[in-house]
Chain A
């Protein structure tokens, strides 16, 4: 049941409100920096570049003045992965023959011969993964969902000038963020109903593939059916409000920070914009 209760809070990461320099940066700047930083981390081939990028991220965390538990909350889920990565890198990892001291043996575990080159390679791989996880964590910790949607929308708008559907893409993202908590609640309700029928209960047994697939299908098929049925209602609501694809600052009305119930139908203005239509129809669903 605890698993069912956690579904309504599906999010990319926890947002910690604040007034630091990182918090007040334009979301577009943060999104572009995330992209460039990620490419730099992935493409960096020298160890000192990887280390410098990691130190810069650590400095950004300090500048963001996040609570002490924030970095821990970001890193906790990936700790087992880091351990597996470290072991696999040490035993089977790539070893740069040009690296000085690469052949120096450090440890012998059975048939595997761990050399200094592999230890350095494992350290670089771990720092690289840590950097990427911390980078994504920093973005979601210092940027609210509505600010992210706003940044995405404004970044995509110039696409209209070259004939690409920038506004439509932004509206798609806004709908997804708006309905994520609503569908989370729906999934939770389906899970409770199936648990009551003893369809999704019991321990997980990886070898029983057909049973696991049936259990998942029992949850997911009603979720899809519900989501696709809502498509008709939302499309009708948008059409009824004469939505013409004009820009309407979707993020300000469409993506509340936590739950759909934060907004009421009273907040819908008389204009025919899509954000209003979305809020109105999602509140009435």
Chain B
């Protein structure tokens, strides 16, 4: 009975999150105005991240597939190549679930170590970028250091569960940006050269990742009752 209940819960969660995905992908609510050539950043991938976090990689995969199809069918999305629009998006919910389950039981020292390793990796990438475009490399380094500093400060407040949620949300969102843009470059989508993809990635990907982290932490904390002054997961 327990297993049957869990199975039904998974199906219903996937269905409801799919409905939210369709709603966000097909109406202007799912698009936040940003000062980039595209004009808006999407948040329609957030249900896939929440599905992965709440019910595991399979639900994340199903909702991600729904997001891919909704984007493909939506008149608001101009690119209609399934190898760019549907296939790379399958990993959004799965990546978020893996990161969340990896960090769920992690304690403060482990999370701080993960943050520092990530910061060093991004700093190394910033050094490579600065060899060709100096200002971009410096910008990435400043962003990485401020993000790492914010993460360490956040951990200091004792919100390890919320930091895990934010890391999962950022991973899911970046998986969307990096994989879709990567596929667009590989499939030679009109107007998407590697340089254009890189600039879109920074201008769209970072605001999307930040907004995803804020919304995912707010929603999952409310649903699971986690947070600083509440019981832990």
Contacts and interface: CB of A to CB of B under 8 A. Distances in A.
Interface of A: 3, 6-7, 10-13, 38-39, 41-42, 74, 77-78, 81, 84-85, 88-89, 92-94, 125, 128-129, 132-133, 136, 140, 168-169, 171-180, 183-184, 187, 191, 204-207, 209, 212-213, 216-217, 219-221, 223-225, 227-228, 230-231, 234-235, 238-239, 243-245
Contact of B81 (A42, A220, A244): A42
B18 to A, nearest CB: 4
Contacts of B5: 235, 239
Bin the interface of chain B by size: 35 or more
B181 interface: no
Given A220-B29, A234-B12, A235-B12, A228 B82 contact: no
B13 interface: yes
B12 A209 contact: no
Given A92-B191, A228-B219, A38 B82 contact: yes
Interface stretch (B95-103, B160-168, B207-215): B207-215
A13 B70 CA distance: 11
Given A42-B83, A235-B5, A239-B8, A207 B50 contact: no
Contacts of A81: 78
A78 B20 contact: no
A217 B214 contact: yes
Interface in B26-48: 26-29, 32-35, 39, 43, 46-47
A24 to B, nearest CB: 22
A205 B33 CA distance: 7
A131 to B, nearest CB: 9
Nearest to B207: A209
Given A129-B80, A180-B22, A231-B16, A206 B29 contact: no
B32 A212 contact: yes
Contacts of A11: 26
A191 B82 CA distance: 33
B20 A183 contact: yes
Interface string B212-232: 001100110011000000000
Contact of A77 (B7, B76, B80): B76
Given A172-B14, A176-B66, A216-B43, A7 B27 contact: yes
A125 B192 CA distance: 14
B156 interface: no
Given A42-B81, A85-B191, A213-B210, A176 B19 contact: yes
A234 B191 CA distance: 46
Pick the 9 closest A-B CB pairs, nearest first: A175-B15, A176-B18, A132-B80, A81-B78, A77-B75, A88-B191, A206-B33, A224-B219, A206-B35
Contact of B23 (A10, A132, A243): A10
Nearest to A88: B191
B4 interface: yes
A12 to B, nearest CB: 5
Nearest to B191: A88
A92 B26 CA distance: 30
B222 A225 contact: yes
A175 B18 contact: yes
B9 interface: yes
A14 B75 CA distance: 12
B3 to A, nearest CB: 12
Contact of B34 (A175, A184, A209, A243): A209
Interface in B41-60: 43, 46-47, 50, 54
B9 to A, nearest CB: 5
Contact of B19 (A78, A89, A133, A180): A180
